[in-house]
Structure 1
Amino acid sequence: AFSGDRVWKTLEKYRSPAKLPEDEDEGDADGRSGRVQDFFYELLKERAIKVLRSKGIDPVKERGASKTRIAYYIVVFVAWLYTGYLHCSASLWGSFGFAVTGWLMGALGHDAGHFAASRRAIVNEYGVWAMSFICNPVMWQQQHTYGHHSFTNEFDRDPDLHHFELLLRVHKKFKYESRFQYQSSFLYVLFSYVFVVFGTCFWIPWGVLSEGTLYGIVEWHDKDRPTKFYGMILHLVCYVGIVLLIPMYTHESFGKAALASYIHVATLGITFALFSQINHLNEPSLEADMDNRQLRYDEKKAIGRDPRLATSWGAAQVETANNFASNSLFWHVLSNGLNHQIEHHLFPGLNHGHLHHIAPVVRETCEEFGVEYKCYDTWSDLMNATMEWFDKLSVADNNRIDNDAVTPGVKTIKIS
């Protein structure tokens, strides 16, 4: 976002010689064929750069972790190693602590996954493995960094919408099933979240290894790279070994071993889900994706909004995300910085430790252009908004869309 024309000059080297049909009628707004400038995003970039520089932060050279942030990474890493030792030494409290520190290690993993832990590629390449107990790090780059961040809340492009189909109906395009009637209960939702990291660390990666695709939406193209293919397998083996097999070897009974594994998986799963799913899953956010916002163009135009916002990726990133408790250091640390989800989606290459600096100017710009900036006062307020949406989708009458037209496994995105 902050590198200017250097990025586009690099990308021009890899432009396909064949012009895409959808590019034929596009204007050459900024002198580059096939690219129409997003005026709203460009303005946000200009203002964010100005704020960062006023804080003494170079938006390119210093966009990675600050010294304070690096110190935090180290403290959490040491705690993670110690609780991991306790987990492997038959301590149930150790298994719980290993889950909590595993979640906090996700701060480094998430930053590195977005190339925001450091400007050194090797740091990010290996740093993303810090989230190994939250999600398979190889799959994460395609599922989250590419798929989710490029196509946030687009039903047939965002893989994050399809994780919970077995237990939860998170989008109205999913066909209603009788089991979804229970999702109006918070306890049922918590029960569903218990299995999250087992899915993202084992079940879903196993499917990607077997089929070469994630839900038929994102195709796994770097499977031909040995480091990625064998890295995926290595993670699966290590995850099963550390979380499931070692407790069976060290605990005095199978029951305690199973309990240790359950404590670790359930604690991490619930924590991960409660701080990640709520950031996008409520009615206003799910109706603001790139497809829906263009369908509602006339409605927005009628209230005097700039028509260019209908096709603005930047505006879509704001309106499909939610912030909460944005002034709280406690929630920032506990949520791994996900309380500034809007700013993160606008500038994923900017370390989470810098996002609070630009939040005020992002909000002011959104208010200036009538872009909905949703910042909830507390975590519970945002959780309630998610539960209201789940409750609405727990009733069959809300499935008003022709099911034949919305069968999952539609458009396939290839990563080259």
Structure 2
Amino acid sequence: MGPPVTLLTDPPAPAGSLPAPARRRPAERATSDFTALAKAVQDAGLMRRRYGYYWTKLIGAAVLLAAWAVGFVLVGDSWWQLGSAVVLSVLLTQTAFLGHDAAHRQIFRSGRWNDWTSLVVANLFVGLSYGWWQSKHTRHHAAPNEEGADPDIDLAVIAFTPARATRPRPRALRWLVARQGWYFFPTLLLEGVSLHADGLIRVLGRGKLKRRWVELTMLVLRLGGLLTLVFVVLPPGKGAAFMAVQLAVFGLYMGGSFAPNHIGMPLVPARLRLDFLRRQVLMSRNVSGGRPMSVLMGGLNYQVEHHLFPSMARPHLRRVQPMVEAHCAAMGVPYTQTTLWQSYGIVIRYLNTVGLKGRDPFLCPLVAGRRAL
């Protein structure tokens, strides 16, 4: 894996006025489809920073995590600490959402401030490697749902694509893959362990990694510190139960927040070329529910808007959503939004269908028409 690269920012609008629609070539029309929207968003002031919002969130996260640690010590040796494990998992997931925002340059104008904020939040607070996640997530934003390019659909445990589902495998595994939609969410109970392990493997590996020793020091302090605190306060049995609950709930919450975004949306063949607007909109799904859902999912419920404007501050995603939906309707670009439970149903059905038949059941007409290219 190569060195981490800076996360994608919004494509700049070309200088000068747009050519008349009748004289524009297809590539120019595709470019201007997004340029017009970007200009309207910029003129509406929706790309400005929200320092008060984010400073409140960052300070609040640090205070709540410190308060949790004090409460954990005061409760002491008790099975009630399993409830404390659930609380910690929720706090860590909400804090991880802030690291995601900083990595996308949403918080500060300075790239350095954003980098260090995300580094501290991810490594020292949450226990995940910022360098590992940044590299992976950048590639996802560049090519969502593109076969061979998006690391989020290239997993060993779940077959997200027909190509993976039809690989030769033992009969028992074929039986499991055919029903993978049903065990996808239970599998997320192990996602917390996987996230910590993948980060450590990257930091301890030989590949090039910026600030390797800073990341390693923070991860050791965070992971070692929590284990020390837990097993000093709790006996081994209760301590092990606490860690199992904490990691399981953390993985389920994290995975349950990211799963609705793209799973079950069209897959993009490696040779297919799409303009920026269609590449991001057609492969992304919003989750309805307004502000409560935005709090629950850390703004990831506005996935279409986030992919179009990754450096937009989280509070502005709600305001830009009607503009994006109207613009897509005017351009004839399908815009997808469902409830959270509907999205989970789509995820289960999609994975089961892919696993059972090796097909992509959610292939949109645009992609289907260009597969032969």
Query: Which TM bucket (shorter chain)?
Result: 0.7 to 0.9
Identity %: 20
Q: Distance in 1 between matches of 2:160 and 2:186?
A: 15
Please tell me whether the aligned partners of residues 41 and 315 of structure 1 are also in contact (alpha carbons under 8 angstroms).
no
- TM-score between the two structures when normalised by the length of structure 2: 0.79
**Residues 87 and 98 in structure 1, CA contact (< 8 A), matched pair in contact too:** no
Match of residue 234 from structure 2:
251
- Where 1:394 maps in the other structure, the secondary structure is helix
For residue 399 of structure 1, report the CA deviation from its aligned partner: 5.9
CA–CA distance in 2 between the matches of 1:39 and 1:141? 29
**Match of 2:90, as an amino acid?**
V
Residue 180 in structure 1 maps to residue 180 in structure 2: no
Say if 2:144 is the partner of 1:152: yes
CA contact under 8 A between 1:202 and 1:236: conserved in structure 2? no
Q: CA offset at residue 388 of structure 1?
A: 1.1
1:260 to 225, 237, 242: 242
Is the Cα–Cα contact under 8 Å of residues 288 and 340 in structure 2 kept in the other structure? yes
Spell out, residue by residue over 1:147-179, the C-alpha distance to the aligned partner (whole angstroms, 9 max, x if none): 11111111211112234x22x222222144423
1:261, 1:270 → 2: CA distance? 14
Could you tell me which residue of structure 2 aligns to residue 97 of structure 1?
87
Counterpart among 82, 91, 111 of residue 121 in structure 1: 111
Instruction: Choose between structure 1 and 2 for higher RCO, CA contacts under 8 A separated by at least 6 residues.
Output: 2
Q: Quick one: structure 1 residues 265 and 320, their matched pair in 2 at CA, closer, same or farther if it must change by over 3 Å? A: same
Which residue, 265, 268, 272 being the options, matches 2:254?
272
Q: Secondary structure at the match of 1:155?
A: coil
Aligned mates of 2:72, 2:153 — CA distance in 1? 32
Question: Which residue of 1 is the match for residue 364 of structure 2?
Answer: none
Secondary structure of 2:213's match?
Answer: helix
Which string of whole-angstrom CA distances, capped at 9 and with x for unpartnered residues, describes residues 69-125 of structure 1?
Answer: 432333233112212444566533332211111111123211101111111334312
Q: How many residues align?
A: 326
1:233 corresponds to which letter in structure 2? L
1:141 matched to 2:126? The reply is no
The residue identity in structure 1 corresponding to 2:128 is C
Which whole-Å CA distance do the structure 2 matches of 1:207 and 1:191 have between them?
Answer: 26
- The more displaced of 99-108 and 116-125 is 116-125
Given residue 194 of structure 2, which amino acid in structure 1 is its aligned partner? G
Unaligned runs of 5+ in 2: 1-9, 16-24, 167-172, 361-373
Could you say which residue in structure 2 is the equivalent of 1:15?
none
Q: Is the 1:106–1:131 Cα contact (8 Å) retained in structure 2?
A: yes
Q: Secondary structure at the match of 1:94?
A: helix
1:78 corresponds in structure 2 to 63
Displacement of 1:37: 7.4
Closer, same or farther: CA 155–211 of 1 in aligned 2, 3 Å: farther
The answer to whether the 8 Å contact 1:2/1:49 transfers is no
Match of 1:354 in 2: 316
Q: Which residue of 2 aligns with 1:45?
A: 38
2:355 maps to what in 1?
394
C-alpha contact (below 8 Å) 2:163/2:358 kept by paired residues? no
Could you tell me how far apart the structure 2 residues matched to 1:194 and 1:235 are? Answer: 25
Aligned CA distance change for structure 1 residues 275 and 190 (closer, same or farther; 3 Å): same
TM-score (norm 1): 0.71
1:413 alignment counterpart: none
SS in 1 for 2:302: helix
Alpha-carbon offset, residue 245 of structure 1: 4.3
Q: Distance in 2 between matches of 1:277 and 1:333?
A: 16
- Structure 2: which amino acid aligns with 1:330? P
Q: Which amino acid aligns with 1:386?
A: V
Partner residue of 2:122 out of 131, 144, 163 = 131
2:162–2:355 CA contact under 8 A, matched in 1: no
Query: Take 2:199 and 2:147, find their aligned partners in 1: how far apart are those partners?
Result: 18
Query: Is the contact made by 2:85 and 2:245 (CA closer than 8 Å) also made in structure 1?
Result: yes
